[in-house]
Amino acid sequence: MVAAFLLIGLVQSRACSPDQLEIQTQTGSIQFTVEIADHFLSRARGLMNRSVLPPKTGMLFLYDSETPVSFWMKNVPFPLDMLFIDRSGRVVRVHENAKPGDLTPINSELPVLGVLEIPGGASRRAQINPGDIVRHPAFHNLTTSCD
């Protein structure tokens, strides 16, 4: 039993380490501090049961390979924007202002390698659109501005 708790602790500390990413839009770039959800447990928990998501922060959900994904807003008390990202780091879909607590599935529509959840309305304010590029080590497209 103790070993299981230690293993969960190791998974949580790896999955929730802070990181930086940059989104290159048509009008400039914006940086976010993100938590990484790259394991089943951290992806399942996501941002549920949190009271707030500060500006310019988010959670980056990463998968082992491109796959169609679906999200919902169960136990999330604030709106979120979801950016669905392919393996090259290109935003393929933006879902704005997902409704708090809504159980309606939000689908990627295409296979993706990652999904970035950011505060609701942030994508519109930053003018983030499909075709924009997310720069992060997971997409193997880093530039010196994210170092």
Domains of the chain: 2-141 (2.60.120.1140)
C-alpha neighbours within 13 Å on the C-beta side of residue 117? 26
Distances (CA, A) of 53 to 48, 79, 86: 11, 9, 24
Q: What is the mean pLDDT of the chain?
A: 86
**Given a cut of 90, is residue 106 above it in pLDDT?**
yes
Q: pLDDT-based confidence at 14, cuts 50/70/90?
A: very low
Lowest mean pLDDT among 50-54, 103-107, 143-147: 143-147
Q: Terminus-to-terminus CA distance in the chain, angstroms?
A: 39
Q: pLDDT-based confidence at 56, cuts 50/70/90?
A: very high
- The answer, as to whether pTM is greater than 0.95, is no
> Which residues neighbour 131 within 8 Å (Cβ) at sequence distance 6 or greater?
90, 91
